[in-house]
Amino acid sequence: MYIIEGNDILVQVRDHRILDVDCVRLAKGKVFAVIGPNGSGKSTLLRVLSLLQKPNTGYITFKGKKVLPGEQIKIRRKMAVVFQESLLLDTSVLNNVMTGLKIRGIDHSAALKTAQYWLERFKVSHLSNRWAKAISGGEAQRVSLARAFAMEPEVMFLDEPFSNLDAPTREELLDELSEVLHSTGVTTFFVSHDFEEVAFLADNAMALMDGKPVQEAPPKEIFSNPVNEALSKFVGAKKRRKWRI
Ligand SMILES: Nc1ncnc2c1ncn2[C@@H]1O[C@H](COP(=O)(O)OP(=O)(O)OP(=O)(O)O)[C@@H](O)[C@H]1O
Ligand SMILES: [Mg+2]
């Protein structure tokens, strides 16, 4: 079953076509990655599928039903998004995780319990009373992930959540996220320009170039058989660099 499908999606800014995707489908419980160079349209596709941006043409289906105008807010509540910049609120770490739960009408003690659980799970419970604006980038990404998972979304959207982190922090968080994704089984849309991350986390991946999908396959398949020279160069860049060291 597909939780989300995007059909005939076209996004155009003035006369520039920035996204042109006939079909993208997120299978229930799977991690679907979009990989591509800077400016290839990955974040735009994430915003369109998470109903944050309306495409010029095309439509989204949620659990097989077309999302109609006026239904976006209701369906958005079933989704959570983590961006590259953590976008935490100007309050304590704990409040950052609790606020969304309270807005949903969850009472204080249940919200507190859930928030504490997720802060613990992402190893930042010791920061609960700290001001969210004064924690490190790596800590802030952990808090953002805790906040997103606390909402128990049916679909999780992750837009390059690791790209601002140093290598050891990134490795550690990748392991933890992988464990959480597998144990919760949440359907995930993961954007990255790092092929190693994609290969580690995703069941299936779409390579996007200049707004267009060029290949959709399990990451290993894209890595071993990239469809064209540009993609081959892109997925191979890291491999070559390693050889030179
Ligand atoms: N509102 C906008 N107005 C003009 N151009 C835009 C707008 N939004 C996106 N673009 C352009 O569309 C292209 C795709 O942008 P997008 O942010 O989706 O790429 P991306 O693959 O996420 O890139 P990155 O890896 O750098 O995050 C870029 O060339 C970008 O400049
Ligand atoms: Mg982006």
**In this structure, which ligand is nearest to the CA of 19?**
1
Q: Which two tokens stand for residue 103?
A: 């807005």
Which of 19, 42, 52, 84 for mutating ligand 1's site (highest number of atoms within 8 Å of CB)?
42
Q: What is the Cβ-side half-sphere exposure of residue 163, based on CA atoms within 13 angstroms?
A: 16
Find the length of the chain. 245
Q: How far is the CA of 154 from the centre of ligand 2 (A)?
A: 22
pLDDT of residue 238: 55
Which residues face 240 on adjacent strands? none
Our answer on whether the CB atom of 18 is closer than 6 Å to any ligand 1 atom is yes
Residue by residue, pLDDT tens for the chain (245 residues) are 899 999 999 999 998 999 999 999 999 999 999 999 999 999 999 999 999 999 999 999 999 999 998 999 999 999 999 998 888 999 999 999 999 999 999 999 999 999 999 999 999 999 999 999 999 999 999 999 999 999 999 999 999 998 888 889 899 999 999 999 999 999 999 999 898 899 999 999 999 999 999 999 999 999 999 999 889 988 875 555 555 55
Going by CA atoms, what residue is nearest to atom 31 of ligand 1? 39
Of 205, 167, 209, 169, residue with least CA distance to 189: 205
Assign 88 to helix, strand or coil: coil
| The predicted structure's pLDDT at residue 85 | 85
Rounded to the nearest angstrom, the distance between the alpha carbon of 44 and the centre of ligand 1 is 6
Q: Are 220 and 199 in contact (CB under 8 A)?
A: yes
pLDDT value at residue 234: 85
Other Cβ atoms closer than 10 A to 131: 13
C-alpha 121 – ligand 1 centre gap (Å) = 33
Cα–Cα distance measured from residue 179 to residue 201, given in angstroms and rounded to the nearest whole number = 10
Q: How far apart (Å, rounded) are the C-alpha atoms in residues 224 and 229?
A: 13
Distance 79 CA to ligand 1 centre (A): 22
Q: Is the CB of 43 under 6 A from ligand 1?
A: yes
Asked if residue 192 has its Cβ within 6 Å of ligand 1, the reply is no
State which fold the 2-78+155-244 domain adopts: Rossmann fold (3.40.50)
Predicted local confidence at residue 241, as pLDDT: 55
Ligand 1, atom 1, lies closest to the CA of 13
47 lines ligand 1 (CB under 6 A): no
Per-domain residue ranges of the chain: 2-78+155-244, 86-152
Mutate to test the pocket of ligand 1, among 12, 18, 47, 212 (most ligand atoms within 8 A of CB): 18
